[in-house]
Amino acid sequence: MAKKKDDNTVQRVEKHIINENHELYKLLNYYTFLSKNLYNYANYQLRQVFILTSKLKEGKEITFEQHEYLNGINAKVDKFNELREVNFQKAKQRAIEQGKELNKKLKLINYFNENNKYLGYNFLEYLVKDGIDYKSLMAQVSQQTLKLLDKNWISFFESIKDWSKYKEKYNGRPKLPNYKKKNGKNILVFTNQICKQKEGYIQFPKCFNKYELKTNINGKLQQVRILPRNKHYVIEVIYKIEKKEKLNDNGKYISIDIGLDNFATVVNNIGLKPIIINGKGLKSINRYYNKKLSYYKEIAKRMNNLDYTNRMNRLTIKRNNKIADFIHKASKNVIDYALKNNINTIIVGNNKDWKRKSNMSKVVNQSFIGIPHQEFINKLIYKCENVGLNIIITEESYTSGTSFLDNELPIKENYNKKRRVYRGLFVSNNGIKINADVNGAYQIMRKVFSNVKADEIEGIGLSPIRVNIA
């Protein structure tokens, strides 16, 4: 009987950066390289069988050597099925001795031919487990590497199926999962049986000298992932925590309009002045990064014919860290604001086409696309889960050109962008000026709660308070 999924927990990730001077760096270099070797070797088997059986299905000729390769694979199918049957009978006998019923059925696989083209995880592991690439890693690490490869192939098959129905969505036919670069690296995944959770530490296995990584996780360890990056590694500690029980809807809401200079405009329905989280600092980080990166690229190409250098990598890491810090602090500011004012529900406007269909000027668009608005929303979602706040993500069509003060619904019939005038002001039908993003944020609230009215919000602030994130 399958285990029921525990819906009372949520997954969290703690990240650690491992630079070149860290004591783990050389070990990570070595084992991610071995993981790449296994990935490529296993991928070769998958690709060969798929390509050759596809040729047979299309009526194409394959060479004698290719026939021999397929015959060799199919010879192992018989041995695999024999082993599977023996193990099944043993499991069945154990169940009888324990007075239990064996719910699983015996599953055997067929020969690989024009009608059966994919090896699948179980047979793939059987096929490669006696090889040096599999044995060079701990068995569970090798299994996780193969599972990731299997996942990539399943995604490929899903893409092919979707492509065959909706070709207009694609630039071309999806390609087979490719090989990793010869001198490249591949992700490592350690289960919680390999990495042990101790008080304040994660202990790595013996091959990593039982290194103890300091951690602040407060839940149950699930796995540890090692992600290769340019000149550094990211260690992701995956763990689960208990879900906080959601607070009841108490009729108090805040609504957020996300932008660029005004990164997040936060309004409420309890009479407090709106606040604007200043995004100019974030925009400045991006502008500086783009300018320096362009300069370094030009120098590297002209002097050394290189596309990417260590200096560019350091610049990118520094920029990413600054943006991540801003996103964390900005989202924390919103959560703290809600809790302080006993507001149980947060509404966020989300435009899925922000980056794909942005029609701003080239300079502004460059800044806008470099700002991770979706990451801000994701941070809000998980921080709301941590404290039990409700969060509603809604689309924001017609919110910028309809009037909150005139109690207009944000629909096409009421849309009139001309009322949004210079310096970020919106003019209501009777001439009252309101900050345009404040108006948009209130209209986002009205998207979800259409009965919200301007005259019911006492002391509505037309001039918001600007908050800087340090």
Distances (CA, A) of 383 to 189, 241, 328: 26, 12, 10
| Strands (DSSP E) found in 287-437 | 345-349, 390-394, 420-421, 425-427, 433-435
Residues 307 and 413 in one domain: yes
Pairwise CA distance, residues 301 & 298, whole Å: 5
From the number of C-beta atoms within 10 Å of its C-beta (0-12, 13-18, 19+), residue 322 rates as middle
Residues 231 and 335 in one domain: no
Residues 236 and 361 in one domain: no
- Residue 30's domain comprises 9-99+112-240
pLDDT digit string (tens) for 353-390? 554 444 444 444 454 456 789 999 999 998 999 999 99
- Is 371:282 a contact under the CB 8 Å cutoff? yes
User: Lowest mean pLDDT: which of 137-146, 255-264, 306-315, 322-331?
Assistant: 306-315
What is the rounded (10 degree) CA torsion for 190, 191, 195, 200? Answer: 110
Confidence of residue 459 (pLDDT cuts 50, 70, 90): low
Query: What was the pLDDT predicted at 292?
Result: 94
Residues 355 and 258 in one domain: yes
Residue 153 lies in a domain: yes
Residue 195 lies in a domain: yes
DSSP 8-state code for residue 394: E
Phi-psi region of 119 (alpha: psi -120 to 50; beta: other; left: phi over 0): alpha
Residues 355 and 229 in one domain: no
Residues 215 and 356 in one domain: no
**Is pLDDT at 457 greater than 80 in this prediction?**
no
Residue 247 lies in a domain: no
Taking residues 332-348, report their average pLDDT. 97
Taking residues 411-436, report their average pLDDT. 83
Residue 1 lies in a domain: no
pLDDT digit string (tens) for 267-318? 999 989 999 999 999 999 999 999 999 999 999 988 888 888 888 988 998 9
Residues 260 and 222 in one domain: no
Pairwise CA distance, residues 292 & 286, whole Å: 10
Side chain identity at 162, as an amino acid letter? D
Distances (CA, A) of 207 to 119, 130, 456: 31, 20, 66
Residues 318 and 409 in one domain: yes
pLDDT digit string (tens) for 78-114? 999 999 999 999 888 888 888 888 788 888 999 999 9
Residues 234 and 204 in one domain: yes
Taking residues 439-445, report their average pLDDT. 93
Domain edge (last residue) among 190, 205, 240: 240
What value does the CA radius of gyration of the chain take, rounded to a whole number of Å?
28
Residue 361 lies in a domain: yes
Residue 2 lies in a domain: no
Q: What is the pTM of this model?
A: 0.80
Q: Which SS3 state, helix, strand or coil, does residue 98 take?
A: coil
Side chain identity at 309, as an amino acid letter? T
Pairwise CA distance, residues 223 & 151, whole Å: 17
pLDDT digit string (tens) for 213-269? 999 998 999 999 999 998 899 999 999 998 889 999 999 999 999 998 999 999 999
Query: What was the pLDDT predicted at 103?
Result: 80
Query: What was the pLDDT predicted at 458?
Result: 56
**Is pLDDT at 340 greater than 80 in this prediction?**
yes
Exposure pattern of 220-253 as b/e (b: 16+ CB <10 Å)? Answer: ebbbbbbbbeeebbebebbbbeeeeeebeeeeeb
Q: Which SS3 state, helix, strand or coil, does residue 423 take?
A: helix
What is the rounded (10 degree) CA torsion for 368, 371, 372, 376? Answer: -100
Tokens representing residue 169 in the block: 């969505």
Residue 451 lies in a domain: yes
Pairwise CA distance, residues 105 & 91, whole Å: 11
Taking residues 161-177, report their average pLDDT. 90
Residues 308 and 412 in one domain: yes
What H or E segment, with its residue span, contains residue 162?
helix 139-165
Pairwise CA distance, residues 374 & 371, whole Å: 9
Residues 159 and 234 in one domain: yes
Residue 248 lies in a domain: no
Domain edge (last residue) among 210, 240, 270: 240
**Residue bearing the bigger pLDDT, 10 or 463:** 10
Number of domains in the chain: 2
Q: Which residues contact 338 (CB under 8 A, 6 or more apart)?
A: 254, 344, 346, 389
Residues 46 and 92 in one domain: yes
Domain edge (last residue) among 181, 206, 240: 240
Confidence of residue 186 (pLDDT cuts 50, 70, 90): very high
